[in-house]
Structure 1
Amino acid sequence: MKNFKDLDSSETEKQVNFKDEALIHQQALYNYALKIVTNADDAQDLLQETYYKAYKSYDQFEKGTNSKAWMFMILKNTFINNYRKLKRTPVKVDYDEVENIFENIKTDQTHNNQLDMEFYNNLLSDELSVALAKLPAKMRDVFLMYDLNGFTYEEIAETVIIPIGTVRSRIYRARRFLYKELSGYAKLNGYLN
């Protein structure tokens, strides 16, 4: 049986090893979380939950394997599980509040149309985000992992659990889709001739 002194040192060793393996990927994980949840607070929550789960299951991590892929897999699975929970939770609606909101929307409709046009005109510089949002999730995830986070094909295949050929084809299709979506914008702004 371990005494308390041994328990403290093993826990400290686990913490040190975890910091060495997992914390170096924090910024890449946060960037990816931000892309899939599109809200800084939700991305921070997802990141925190990912690190909590990773630390809890760190004993199962095989030393010498790809810690980056392991952390991204935990983040992706956590996101999917949270999404499933949200989907199952029924939404409670206060119908009086909805009716009031609907009435306000109806009266402000003409004013809002003008504001919407201004808003969308200001968003033209953010065309990439709009185009990324149009990508199917499977293509977007692989594309972001490769081009934004610098994953190799092998790391992506291991994280998403798909063949390397599928990784390559999704990246190719995502790039082709983005080219089609953004070529008009690029020509308009002088990026393409």
Structure 2
Amino acid sequence: MTVTYLPTATTPDPDLAARFAREVEPLRDVLTRRARRLTRCEADAEDLVQDTLLRAYTGFHTFEAGTNLKAWLFRCLYNRWISGYRAKQARVAEVLTYSIDDRDLAATVSYLPGSGRSAETEILESLPDDDIKAAMRALPDGFAEVLYYADVEGYTYAETAEILAIPAGTVMSRVFRARKWLRLALAHRTRFRTESVTAPVVA
């Protein structure tokens, strides 16, 4: 991996650059996979990984050796993705006025700056099942986010805690309670499947 230096007032530390390359390179593939899940686009994922590595390198002197480097990089990746998403939200929408109609305007209004749709909301809205989406939306603030990273994305509790900057104990508690709430909210689906299987066949 080639490390690109940012202009700084001091001379870059070659030992730090070598350590960064040596320790981060084995994690590049897993970072890229996470970036693909977030962006759902190969080119955007590559851009996100490059941006993350550049930012991580500039802050690598603050990383405490011996702690969880992967979780630290995931945190950097998540922060860069959120920043990029919010920057896109803040960008003025440009359209060709002669080709837009009321339907187009209504379809795009929720994505305009100030619409309140967060990056996390976009993730949850992308879930394929309407019942699950509704149940996730009904969870208290912070619970759906934790459950998504721990159960859908497959992060460990420690990694989820690092990404969201909350204690690991909070992650464990929220995941446990969120799973319980989801089981209750989706219990009707289990009953429906059970009744369908055990229903007598009418000749």
Normalising by the smaller structure, the TM-score range is 0.5 to 0.7
1:182 CA drift (Å):
11
Partner of 2:90: 88
Q: How many residues align?
A: 157
1:53 CA drift (Å):
0.7
Partner of 1:156: 160
Query: Are 1:146 and 2:144 matched, yes or no?
Result: no
Change (3 A) 1:174 1:21: farther
1:64 CA drift (Å):
1.5
Partner of 2:78: 76
Question: Which protein, 1 or 2, shows the higher relative CO under an 8 Å CA cutoff with sep ≥ 6?
Answer: 1
Change (3 A) 1:38 1:184: farther
Q: How far does the alpha carbon of each residue in 1:92-114 deviate from its partner, in whole angstroms, 9 at most, with x for none?
A: 11111224x96xxxxxxxxxxxx
Q: TM-score, normalised by structure 2?
A: 0.58
Partner of 1:56: 58
With 79-88 and 167-176 compared, the bigger mean Cα shift is at 167-176
1:140 CA drift (Å):
5.6
Change (3 A) 1:170 1:30: farther
Contact 2:74 2:159 in 1 (8 A): no
Partner of 1:46: 48
CA distance in structure 2 between the partners assigned to 1:82 and 1:70 by the alignment: 18
CA distance in structure 2 between the partners assigned to 1:90 and 1:154 by the alignment: 38
CA distance in structure 2 between the partners assigned to 1:40 and 1:174 by the alignment: 32
* AA aligned opposite 1:130: P
Q: Which has the higher helix share?
A: 1
Partner of 2:25: 23
Partner of 1:109: none
1:174 CA drift (Å):
5.5
Change (3 A) 1:96 1:25: same
Moved over 6 A (4+): 177-183
Q: TM-score, normalised by structure 1?
A: 0.60
Partner of 1:117: none
Change (3 A) 1:30 1:18: same
Unaligned runs of 5+ residues in structure 1 are 1-6, 103-127
Q: How far does the alpha carbon of each residue in 1:131-182 deviate from its partner, in whole angstroms, 9 at most, with x for none?
A: 487645955653454344442x233223311233431244345555776669
Contact 1:32 1:145 in 2 (8 A): no
With 41-50 and 135-144 compared, the bigger mean Cα shift is at 135-144
Change (3 A) 1:49 1:181: farther
Contact 1:32 1:144 in 2 (8 A): no
CA distance in structure 1 between the partners assigned to 2:97 and 2:166 by the alignment: 45
The CA RMSD over aligned residues, in Å, is 3.8
* AA aligned opposite 1:34: R
* AA aligned opposite 1:28: V
Unaligned runs of 5+ residues in structure 2 are 1-10, 105-125, 199-203
SS in 1 for 2:56: helix
SS in 1 for 2:30: helix
